[in-house]
A and B are shown apart, each in its own frame.
Chain A
Amino acid sequence: MHTNANKEQGMDAPAQYFDWGFIHISYPNLIVIGVMLVVFAVALVAPFPHGSDRDA
């Protein structure tokens, strides 16, 4: 087992929380949602690579 069980660090430590009015969300969740929104926005504008012999 862990020898430093009383010394929480890294991902073993409780997450920090972002507070803004009624919004209360951990930074890991906030970051994941932000990344998802960015990836979705990029997917809307990024050209999709097409092969040379596509059906029209």
Chain B
Amino acid sequence: MPDQLTKVKPQAGGNGAAAAEVDDASWTLRTRRWVDRVLPMDNLLPHRQPYYVGSWVYVFGVITIAALVWVVISGVVLSFMGPQWWHDSGLGRFFNSLHFWSVQMFFLFMVLHLWGQYFMAGWRDGRAATWIIGVVIFGSSILTAFTGYLSQQNFDSQFIAINAKDAMNSVGVGAFFNVLNFGQMYGLHVMLLPITVTFLVVVHIVLVRARGVVKPIDPEGGAAS
């Protein structure tokens, strides 16, 4: 390591080429430059936006995120307190309802956001990854909701599990996703799937920031310039 230290040390005689060579080999520097190029701070936290950002479609997306925040907060409280609390106590039922209705809002506005993006062709101009990740979020959210119905710990969840097992077996995944196994379904619901959805939402937002929102479609059929 002393050799490298010698190379990166600034020298009065001017050994810039060697220093630059070592700099290029630094993964931290390369990563920093890549982030600066792909997601500059001006894009990450813009203080001004094009006029077409003023659309209810993006309000729907923001409401979806707000609902997700409440889903996670109420879900953390529910998982901490346990099934008996959320079934028997008044406060528990309140948080149970908060969790349920936040999910309703989450899905309602996510689908409205999806409809809007579909008709705007939001995948144009290099935004395919943003669209695809949004679709994956939608699918992951459905799995999360299904496992949530199985985690209620009531007769309804038992009824759903007993019927859903046939659906799982019919598509050949019953050995991997046993809906009668409460521990597996609860673990998926409170850990793996929420982390997946939240992570993908963060990636979705970062991609929106990196590329900006899609321009309106002009009457000529192409994208407005």
Contacts and interface: CB of A to CB of B under 8 A. Distances in A.
B43 to A, nearest CB: 14
29 contacts: A1-B87, A1-B88, A32-B104, A32-B108, A35-B108, A36-B108, A36-B111, A36-B112, A40-B112, A40-B115, A40-B116, A43-B56, A43-B57, A43-B60, A43-B112, A43-B116, A48-B54, A48-B55, A48-B56, A49-B54, A50-B51, A50-B54, A54-B48, A54-B51, A54-B54, A55-B48, A55-B49, A55-B50, A55-B51
A23 interface: no
Interface residues of A, number: 14
Contacts of A49: 54
Interface string A4-47: 00000000000000000000000000001001100110010010
B213 to A, nearest CB: 13
Interface residues of B, number: 17
Interface of A: 1, 32, 35-36, 39-40, 43, 46, 48-50, 54-56
Interface in B74-121: 87-88, 104, 108, 111-112, 115-116
B222 to A, nearest CB: 20
Contacts of A55: 48-51
A24 to B, nearest CB: 16
A54 B48 CA distance: 7
Contacts of A54: 48, 51, 54
Nearest to B48: A55
B90 to A, nearest CB: 13
Given A32-B108, A55-B50, 4 more contacts: A36-B111, A43-B60, A43-B112, A48-B55
A46 B54 CA distance: 12
A22 to B, nearest CB: 21
Contacts of A46: 56
Interface string B52-72: 001111001000000000000
